Structure 1
Amino acid sequence: MNQPRSAVDRLLVDESGRSPRADARRNVERLVAAARIAVAEVGVGVSSHEIARRAGVGVGTFYRRVPSLEALLEAVLDEVLDEITQLADRALADPDPWHGLGEFAAGYVRLRAESCGISEALGGACPDGLAERLTGMRERIRQLVERAQVVGAMRVDVAWQDVAFLLAAAATGDHTLGLRADDRQWERNLGIILDGLRASEPLASVI
């Protein structure tokens, strides 16, 4: 399997095959790092001016170094979706399907909880070029759920689509009913969800 390209490498593709100058690469690296933080804090509606400010460069440098704001955001979101895909693939390779599902769920919900932009993208607010990535994510969640059900580790009356919505719900908002969530609220939410999904008896003991 080929190693996924980083957001920086995606943005530095040169049809001539020449390597970019060192200063050009440094600027792109700064823009990618700033964009990832801005997307996490502000969401996919962040502006090029805001990203340039965070990166410590001018807007002119921004547009000299990246094709467009949309291309930068797509590269950053694609990089994070690569991380989620790798989480899912490791989980699918886990010999214990329930453990694999739990490990994936924890990583997936953590990323959703920590990044406003990733939560929006996984909810469908992403560039058209990433639609295929969401299709692949749905397929992996289906496989993870069905593996756990086949071995009797997970309730069979729950559809894989239900699990996708439950994992999204675990990445809670920061307040409700005048209560404010701490940074680990998502872990408690997920623990309760996984407890509810787990089968009450192993398959071998069910007659």
Structure 2
Amino acid sequence: MSRPSSTAVDRLLANGSGRRPRADARRNVERLVEAARIAVAEVGVGVSAHEIARRAGVGVGTFYRRIPSLEVLLQAVLDEVLDDIEDAAEQAMEDPNPWRGLCAFATAYVRLRAESCGINEALGGACGDALAPRLEDLGERLRLLVERARSAGAVRTDIAWQDVAFLFAAAATGERTLGLRAGEQQWERNLRIVLDGLRPAQPGTLPGAPPT
């Protein structure tokens, strides 16, 4: 069953009074959320309120008038992205082909880890207890996807779902290693190798070119 839609902006503007916020207040919060998502992707969860305000084109005073705290903003932004990951997991569970569903989820999940420094940090536990219930729920969804595919004979019986969690995290990669530069589709190549390793069947075709 799908969750009711709730964006980071909605969460931050919810005050329990039932009154709609002024249009200018909503615009400022929207700009701060957009700036925070970009900053978290590029810098990580250690980004500052001053950096987010600068990217949003507002003063830090406006930041704290509209946002209770930096921690609240970051949690709202990360919750929004985790919603996207959970939606991908729900869609994967609805796919009548368990292997295809697992691959679709893996692609969405690893893409976010590869493209966002902050999401990679958050999924790795950098936010401490703040996101613990969400990560536990995400782990349960991954368990169901893996066990469903394994029951269908699409995943090796000697691989646990916990192995898959670490393998998907490992598929996301940095730009360089050992003097090599990653190819443009490096994380996709990594993921294809991981997925082929999960299967008891023959491997698929690697996307993109190897590292240089």
TM range, normalised to the smaller chain? over 0.9
Please give the residue correspondences for 1:112-127 in structure 2 after superposition, counting only pairs within 5 Å.
Answer: 112-126=113-127
Native 8 Å contact 1:172 1:186 kept in 2:
yes
Which ranges in structure 2 are unaligned for 5 or more consecutive residues? 203-212
Query: 2-side partners of 1:141 and 1:16: how far apart?
Result: 37
Partner of 1:111: 112
Query: 2-side partners of 1:183 and 1:67: how far apart?
Result: 39
Q: What is the identity, as a one-letter code, of the residue corresponding to 1:73?
A: L
Partner of 1:140: 141
Q: What is the identity, as a one-letter code, of the residue corresponding to 1:172?
A: T
The Cα offsets for residues 77-99 of structure 1, whole Å up to 9 and x where unpaired, read as 00000000000011011110000
Partner of 1:49: 50
Query: 2-side partners of 1:98 and 1:2: how far apart?
Result: 24
Instruction: Provide the secondary structure at the position in 2 that maps to 1:118.
Output: helix
Query: TM-score, normalized by length of structure 2?
Result: 0.92
Query: 1-side partners of 2:129 and 2:181: how far apart?
Result: 35
Query: 1-side partners of 2:135 and 2:74: how far apart?
Result: 16
Native 8 Å contact 1:39 1:117 kept in 2:
yes
Identity of aligned residues (%): 72
Give the ranges of 4+ consecutive aligned residues of structure 1 lying more than 2 Å apart after TM superposition. none
Q: What is the identity, as a one-letter code, of the residue corresponding to 2:189?
A: R
Q: 1:89 to 1:158 in 2, by over 3 A?
A: same
Q: What is the identity, as a one-letter code, of the residue corresponding to 1:194?
A: L
Query: 2-side partners of 1:173 and 1:51: how far apart?
Result: 24
Please give the residue correspondences for 1:1-207 in structure 2 after superposition, counting only pairs within 5 Å.
Answer: 1-126=2-127, 128-200=129-201
Larger relative contact order (C-alpha < 8 A, sep ≥ 6)? 1
**Count of aligned residue pairs for this structure pair:** 201
The Cα offsets for residues 130-173 of structure 1, whole Å up to 9 and x where unpaired, read as 21100011001111110111011110101100000000000011
Instruction: Provide the secondary structure at the position in 2 that maps to 1:153.
Output: coil
